[in-house]
Amino acid sequence: MATKHAALHALIEPVVAAMGFELWGIDHLSQGKQSRLVIYIERDSGVNVEDCADISRQVSAILDVEDPIPGEYRLEVSSPGMARPLYTLDHFSRFQGHHVALKLRAPFDGRRKFQGLLAGVEGDEILLQIDGEEYCFPIEGIDSAHIVPQFDD
């Protein structure tokens, strides 16, 4: 986790936890002059729009005081949803047996994007089954990953 990302996590996580939610993850997306800070929250009983609004107000107040992000940005609070992003080894462990798509920081076998069945976690590596073959990807080499929802007919 990058230092800036770790600092944001350290500021936001206690607020989210105090309100009874798990901080699933944070994405800070820069888009030219405009950037977005997306906070994903989770709770066993689910997340609704009012929950997101409450968390947004509380986190916004902390961010206004601490001012960890230079320039303007838009704050968004959301549940991770069906195509939830995966950030930690724990996330990958929890979703073993699901289909995932991941993008690597550097190419492996000439490509950066892979999709397959999440076979598990071994040490700090993610095991992915693709077309009957198993691939191991170190978590620090993964730029982004998310669940690929499967719908049965």
CB 27 within 8 A of CB 38: yes
Question: Do 67 and 20 share a structural domain?
Answer: yes
Report helix, strand or coil for 74.
strand
What pTM did the predictor assign? Answer: 0.85
Claim to verify: residue 15 and residue 55 sit in the same structural domain: yes
3 has pLDDT over 70: no
Residue 53 and residue 23 share a domain: yes
70 lies in the same domain as 114: no
pLDDT at 133: 95
Considering the domain architecture, whether residues 30 and 55 belong to the same structural domain is answered as yes
Q: What is the CATH number of the domain that holds 11?
A: 3.30.300.70
Residues in the chain: 153
Neighbour-count burial of 145, counting CB atoms closer than 10 A to its CB (0-12 exposed, 13-18 middle, 19+ buried): buried
Q: Are residues 99 and 45 in the same domain?
A: no
Number of domains within the chain = 2
Q: In Å, how far are 18, 84, 137 from 126, measured between CA atoms?
A: 31, 16, 5
Q: Could you tell me if 93 and 47 lie in one domain?
A: no
Which residue is listed with tokens 């950030």?
87
CATH of the domain at 101: 2.30.30.180
User: pLDDT tens digits for 83-128?
Assistant: 999 999 999 999 999 999 999 999 999 999 999 999 999 999 999 9
Do 9 and 72 sit in the same domain of this protein? yes
**Confidence (pLDDT) at 1:** 46
2 has pLDDT over 60: no
User: What confidence category does residue 153 fall into, taking pLDDT thresholds of 50, 70 and 90?
Assistant: low
Q: What is the pLDDT of residue 150?
A: 86
Q: How confident is the model at residue 151 (pLDDT cuts 50, 70, 90)?
A: confident
Contact 76, 39 (CB under 8 A): yes
Tell me, yes or no, whether 24 lies in a domain: yes
**C-alpha atoms less than 13 angstroms from C-alpha of 84 in its C-beta half-sphere:** 20
Written as six digits, the tokens of 113 are 């994007």
- Percentage of the residues of the chain whose pLDDT score is greater than 70: 97
The mean per-residue pLDDT over the stretch 129-136 comes to 95
Question: Could you say which DSSP state residue 1 is in?
Answer: -
Domain housing 34: 3-78
Nearest CA to 77 out of 112, 25, 142, 123 is that of 25
Query: What pLDDT is stored for residue 30 in this prediction?
Result: 81
- 102 near 145, Cβ under 8 Å? yes
What's the mean per-residue pLDDT of the chain? 91
User: How confident is the model over 18-76, as pLDDT tens digits?
Assistant: 999 999 999 988 877 778 999 999 999 999 999 999 999 999 999 888 888 777 889 99
- Strand-pairing partners, residue 41, are 23
Q: Is residue 83 part of a domain?
A: no
* Residue where a domain terminates, one of 55, 78, 101: 78
Q: Is residue 84 part of a domain?
A: no
